[in-house]
Chain A
Amino acid sequence: MKEGIKMKKRLVVVIFIIIICPVILVGCWNYREIDSLAIVAGMAIDKDMITKKYIVTTEIITTQMSGVSSIINSELYRSEGDSIFNAVRDTIEKTGLKLFWSDAKVLIISRAIALEGVIPVIDWVNRSSDTRSDMWMLISTGNSAAEILEAKIKLNSVTSFHLNETMKSGTSLSNFTDSRLWSFVAGLSSKEKSETVATVKNELHDDSTSPRISGSAVFKVDKLVGYLSANETLYMLMIKNKLKEGLIVLENALDSNTTVTLDIHENKTKLTPHYNNGTTLLTIDIYPAVTIDDVGGTKDIFKEDNLKKLQGEAENQIKVNIEHLISKLQKNFQSDVLGFTESFDKEKPKVSKAFKKNGQDIFVNLKTEVNVYLLIKGSGKTNDSISAEK
């Protein structure tokens, strides 16, 4: 009896040791203290055109204690390599710390690389388990990608975080596209569809340079083919039914010197493809709802017939701009960033199949009909223009 209890006790001890050992031995497989990391805020990729090496610039967060509070700042580390990953690994040599990618917000690619094709560059970022594919993808124009990160902003000491904030506020501006890395990669999967990516360049303001995101770069598959201005980007988003907010400025409204600014706060766009005897036609119905935000003049635009006129002028301006944008994309870039081919795929699959068989591009020769139905919903706090004593 006693022997049995002793055996049982021994067995319990052995089992306990067996359970504890692996926990202690293998438990630390991913143990790392937070202060042993180098937090990457963003990365910029350039290419040395002579040596054909990639230059990766990473912005790494540094902190400095000053008394009780700490100052957050950033440092740039630059390394070269034959591949992106090679260059990234080289950075560890310089930082001495393991790079921590989960909080990297932006991926800036230089114009030169974009012209050659971005797939070799974004593959590692998309593939690696360290980085996140919700990084913002930006194309630097006019500057090298590294120069964008070199600029310092007073509002935010970490440039990448500043770019991140700017991109987040994009929906209220509609000056650039919402270009997440994952959506770009997803867009590459379809042959006809192309993606746009926001562009960034440094601007000079009284001695200091700061990056400004504006406009978008048009890709055909993974190669850069051209740019859209900030205004054109707004109309592109309008066609794609992705517009949330945006401004339309009517200069010399109602044949007076009054400038009226309309704030779009709602928009709905409907694409209807038609096919008739070999000709393809796309009807674009646009239903923007606006408020009059700013009346820069004394003209009384709130009279009923004046309002009607104003509506007509605004509709016309939108229509002209959209038609111009479509012809630019068709003729200059041959890049379907608007998703027209996709709408044919969905609603007229037979037509699009036939076109594909013949090796024809639906987008380039597509005729479009634009109808704008503008709705003026309000005018802020007042119904009058500011007028001088009559």
Chain B
Amino acid sequence: MNTNDFSNIKLVSSLNENINIIKNIFTNDTTIVYRELSVGNPDKTKCILIYIDGMANTQLINENIIKPILLNDICDINHSEIIEVLMKEVLLTGNNKKSDLVDDIISGIIYGKSILFIDGFADVIIIDTIGWQTREISEPQAETIVRGPREGFTESMSLNLTLIRRRLINPNLKFIFLKMGKQTKTQICVCYIDGIAEEAILKELMARLNSIDIDGILDSGYIEEIIKDAPYSPFRTIINTERPDVVASKLLEGRFAVICDGSPIVLTLPTLFVEVFQSNEDYYDNFLYSSFIRILRWLCFFISTSTSAIYVALVTFHQELIPTPLLISIYSARKGTPFPSIVEAMGMMIIFEILKEAGLRMPKQVGGAISIVGALVLGDAAVNARLVSAPILIITAITGIASTMLPQVLGLIEIRIFFLLLSSFLGLYGYIFGVMGLVLHMMSIRSFGIPYMLNVPSFSTQDIKDTAIRAPWWNMYLRPKMISKNNKRMKKK
């Protein structure tokens, strides 16, 4: 069978024929278990239970399906009511469904459900016995924090939904389920709080999700890239997280979460630029400290995008702007090095990126050796051999480290290269040119209708409460404007 469409296949009342239909679909699949059972006196109706070994919970099947069917003391079952009797009085499982759609049956089997075929009926009972192995809940590697909940999402969507639900005990927490991917039939769930989230954004999100036509979805990254605004921009207009507490806080602000089965990464939207600078720990720690860290992150954004560009501009165009002692130390470091400053800056930046990327993908055991070779030997030897000047090494290190300060990944490297190229042939003039271009670009982006730079160019006290600083909780009585429908977070004191 090559097609995925089973809607033209109809079940019949003969058990053998029905089993043959299933066997034809799962040709040569030895993991499928066909368990024959007989139920009830006096005619001992033949049944067959089908499930996939490994996907379904075998213990549950044994205890709650097979055992009660075989040991039931309901002796006289009217044959025509057998399905109802089984569902109501025999099966000990919670979620049972009657169905005659082959589509449902097939996807149910694949998903780990058990199907009970009964001789003489075109209907079957679909029993929820999903019990595949999932990864245990653990702390996300990419978003480590010092203070705050340590749970992280796993690859199982039902578990992920539990994690969110446990934080928002609220009937208004709504879930919309979708199936996506022609081949993979991946479950997608859109999650929001009714009454806080804007319906217009929901409508737009659903429209975008429904227009997805793709073979398979293996991670939420697929969805992000297909539905996001400004797809060519280095900035992220949809942000993601592995932490249920982060998702809960975004939902409370009126945002939407998109959960994709099989991926621990949950998307939240609409996204603002300031979210790049917000870490969940900011909200759990003292607001003074968090505000300081926030400001530090903005500084790091500037450092990591601009220092190398400004350095190259100063050293090759505007030596007059460098104070004398600094000028002399740069001068003495540059003396005798063979490459122009821009080549040095670009080269060291690329080497840094190589080291960084290699460090990510490398087996842990090799990591230490590589970082020693990369950092100490390469850096130190290059300066001693006068291949590169020491200041550029320092600047590369600073920009590289500063870029890891931001809690969310951003296209910093693209911006850095853009600025560097501009300032290398136009000096500070080119750099300012680049900054203007970048600001114009950022101002023009929207994420699901919300301006990406919302609240950033504002100096009003209400707007900066969660941007440049993190105001104390008793002072943030409003939810972010435009995103949420109802603006009041708490009573104003």
Q: Which residues of A contact B (CB under 8 A)?
A: 23-24, 27-28, 30-35, 37, 39, 61, 63, 65, 68, 70, 72, 100, 102-103, 105, 161
Contacts and interface: CB of A to CB of B under 8 A. Distances in A.
A159 to B, nearest CB: 14
A27 B426 contact: yes
Contacts of A35: 331, 334-337
Given A34-B319, A39-B327, A103-B328, 4 more contacts: A23-B425, A34-B334, A65-B386, A72-B328
B341 A33 contact: yes
Interface string B413-432: 00000000000011100100
B384 A39 contact: no
A65 B334 CA distance: 11
Given A32-B316, A33-B316, A39 B331 contact: yes
B317 interface: yes
Contacts of B330: 34
B76 interface: no
B37 interface: no
A105 B324 CA distance: 10
A102 B320 CA distance: 6
B384 to A, nearest CB: 7
B425 A33 contact: no
Interface string B327-345: 1111111111100110000
Contacts of A102: 319-320
Interface in B427-485: 427, 430
A31 B318 CA distance: 9
Contacts of B386: 65
Contacts of A105: 324
A31 B332 contact: no
Given A23-B426, A33-B341, A35-B337, A70 B332 contact: yes
Contacts of A61: 328, 331
Interface string B364-387: 000000000000000000011010
Nearest to B339: A33
Interface of B: 315-317, 319-320, 324, 327-337, 340-341, 383-384, 386, 425-427, 430
Contacts of B317: 30-32
A61 to B, nearest CB: 6
Contacts of B320: 102
Contacts of A68: 383-384
A299 B397 CA distance: 65
Contacts of A28: 425
Contacts of A30: 317, 427
Contacts of A72: 328, 332
Nearest to A31: B316
A34 B316 contact: yes
A23 B386 CA distance: 31
B319 A100 contact: yes
A150 B383 CA distance: 34
Contact of A34 (B315, B324, B427): B315
Lowest 9 CB-CB distances: which A-B pairs, in order? A63-B332, A27-B425, A70-B332, A102-B320, A35-B334, A103-B324, A34-B315, A35-B335, A34-B334
A68 B315 CA distance: 21
A34 B426 contact: no
14 contacts: A27-B425, A27-B430, A30-B317, A39-B328, A39-B331, A61-B331, A63-B328, A65-B332, A65-B335, A68-B384, A70-B329, A70-B332, A100-B319, A103-B327
A366 B112 CA distance: 112
A33 B334 contact: yes
A28 B384 CA distance: 30
A105 B323 CA distance: 12
A65 B336 contact: yes
Contacts of A34: 315-316, 319, 327, 330-331, 334, 341
A33 B336 CA distance: 12
A24, A32, A33 pick with most chain B CB within 10 angstroms: A33
B146 to A, nearest CB: 37
Contacts of A37: 319, 331
A105 B334 CA distance: 22
